[in-house]
Amino acid sequence: MPLEYALRSLEDAEIFNLLSEMVYIAYVDTCEVIFLNDALRQRIASAGQTEGKRYCYELMHGRTQRCEHCKFKALSAGMLTAARAYNSMAKCDVYIKSRVIDLNGRLARLVIGFDVSRVEREKGRLSNALMVQEMISESLHILNEMPDPSKAYALILQNFGETLRASRAYLCILRRGLFYTTAEWCAEGAASQKEEEQGMSPQLFARWMDRFRGNHCVCVEDVEEVRGVDRIEYRIMASRGARSYIVAPIRMHGHVIGLLGIENAPQDLAQDIEPLLASVAYYIAVRIRMNEHTALLETMSFHDAMTGCGNRNAYMRRKDQLERSASRHTVGVIFFDLNKLKETNDTLGHEYGDKLIQKAARIMCSVMPQELVYRTGGDEFVALLVDKGEQEVSALVDAIKAAVRNDATLSVSVGMAWEDAPHDMQALVDRADEAMYEEKVRYHRKQEGSR
């Protein structure tokens, strides 16, 4: 039998007290609630929500006037509707089935609400978990594809902040025993803390370090919780407006080398943010390790271990660069070669000869920046000078010779060439080499003449 015929009086509605679902009946024309079953009454009465409230829009939705769907919809007996909503008074997500009934000649709405909060929470957790996995994948892609790590970190922090609706995201790196914030994202209206977070002692965050040693994140949902636990941490975090925060350690070889943090994200995302930060912090550590290996490989490939100058590979790379751009610059080349190094090695040993090579390199680097000097052979050095006048280059040659004259253990030959907008770099280098060779010939003739 249709419900509108079975339910003819409020006494009949008492049967709904047997249900665990929430049920109420309200008149259509006035929205006045005339029945609440025990399940719904217990939900909202425990917090005193029924006091002074007579209408369904007050009791069920916390509103002060009719809901829009009631205000404009013409309702008739037998009409059935279904909807999903959040009941702010019962504080739960509900699936609502509503039917219009004729109650003693007056239209009323019989509403049954099914608590689907658990389902919604599970859906929310699943949605957040999928979001976290997408963010981890995107962060890994950024770290792999962007050659500039600083730009990669900035983009990751921006994604974190915007997606997680935080006020701030940051990355700190440990250098020489102190933390430096190297990348930061701030929401609109949030103040940057980057300048203040330069050279911070790890001792300021002693509680964090204890957590990090166990490979755990720091998760604070309310900064007031820290007030009585760590006054220094509380003062620092509260002063920069961090009401809540999650921080993950960036670890390498068992040591903390950095921090990855989020501030003022919604609390319902806290349990999902922690594994996100922990995962991305690991990938950042991998990227830092790769950067270190790349820098080491760069050093091994392009630097001379004995003198610290660029090696022949670095010289060839720089010369090739100048081949493409030298026509827009002045270029000076200085060739520098030790005299009689072979005889010195044969008589005093290679270790002594190596010390002379190192001393010669120090002399060249004392009169010009080290990055301009290349050791291209056993006892041969070349300097490539861009946008220097011919007199400036000549003065550098004189300075080198003067420094060598002050050291009785050294004898060198130096040659130079200079050209404005050269079109053939190799020809310019050859001229400097020839000038050096001519000086070396003069040196040997002088040595033979003095015997």
% residues pLDDT > 70 (the chain): 92
Least confident segment among 59-63, 128-132, 214-218, 284-288: 59-63
CB count in 10 Å sphere of residue 228: 8
pLDDT in tens, 389-429: 999 999 999 999 999 998 888 999 999 999 998 988 999 99
Residues forming a β-bridge with 174: 179
Q: What is the pLDDT of residue 404?
A: 92
Query: What are the strands of the beta sheet with 380-386, ordered from one edge?
Result: 373-375, 380-386, 330-338, 412-420
In whole angstroms, give the CA distance from residue 210 to residue 128: 29
331 neighbors 422 (Cβ within 8 angstroms): yes
- pLDDT at residue 283 above 80? yes
Q: What is the pLDDT of residue 95?
A: 83
User: What's the first-to-final CA gap in the chain, in angstroms?
Assistant: 133
Confidence of residue 3 (pLDDT cuts 50, 70, 90): very low
In whole angstroms, give the CA distance from residue 375 to residue 307: 8
**What architecture is domain 3-115?**
2-Layer Sandwich (3.30)
DSSP3 helix / strand / coil % (the chain, rounded to 5): 50, 25, 25
Q: What is the pLDDT of residue 428?
A: 94
- pLDDT at residue 180 above 80? yes
- The answer to whether 3-115 and 121-298 have equal CATH topology is yes
**Mean pLDDT rounded to a whole number for the chain:** 86
Q: What is the pLDDT of residue 1?
A: 39
- pLDDT at residue 360 above 90? yes
pLDDT in tens, 361-397: 999 999 999 999 999 988 999 999 999 999 999 999 9
The single-letter code of the amino acid at 169 is A
Q: Measuring CA to CA, which residue among 341, 332, 411 is closest to residue 368?
A: 332
The single-letter code of the amino acid at 450 is S
pLDDT in tens, 85-99: 777 666 777 888 888
Answer positive or negative: Cα dihedral of 392, 398, 404, 406.
negative
Q: Measuring CA to CA, which residue among 184, 174, 227, 234 is closest to residue 204?
A: 234
Query: What are the strands of the beta sheet with 245-252, ordered from one edge?
Result: 198-200, 178-186, 168-175, 255-263, 245-252, 218-220
pTM of the shown model? 0.60
Residue position matching structure tokens 């964090």: 208
E runs forming strands in 106-188: 106-115, 168-175, 178-186
Question: DSSP label at 327?
Answer: G
- pLDDT at residue 144 above 50? yes
Q: What is the pLDDT of residue 5?
A: 45
Q: Select the more confidently predicted residue: 286 or 68.
A: 286
SS3 assignment, position 409: coil
Distances 167 to 129, 152, 158, 264, 314 between C-alpha atoms, Å: 21, 20, 11, 6, 45
Q: What are phi and psi of 4, to 5 degrees?
A: -65, -20
Q: Does domain 121-298 have CATH number 3.30.450.40?
A: yes
Q: What is the pLDDT of residue 2?
A: 44
In whole angstroms, give the CA distance from residue 154 to residue 451: 69
Interval 329-349 mean pLDDT:
92
Q: What is the pLDDT of residue 389?
A: 94
173 neighbors 292 (Cβ within 8 angstroms): no
Structural domain spans, the chain:
3-115, 121-298, 312-449
- pLDDT at residue 59 above 70? yes
Q: Does domain 312-449 have CATH number 3.90.226.10?
A: no
Residues forming a β-bridge with 101: 108
**Per-residue tokens: 193:** 């803390």
In whole angstroms, give the CA distance from residue 42 to residue 395: 95
Q: Measuring CA to CA, which residue among 135, 167, 141, 170 is closest to residue 154?
A: 170
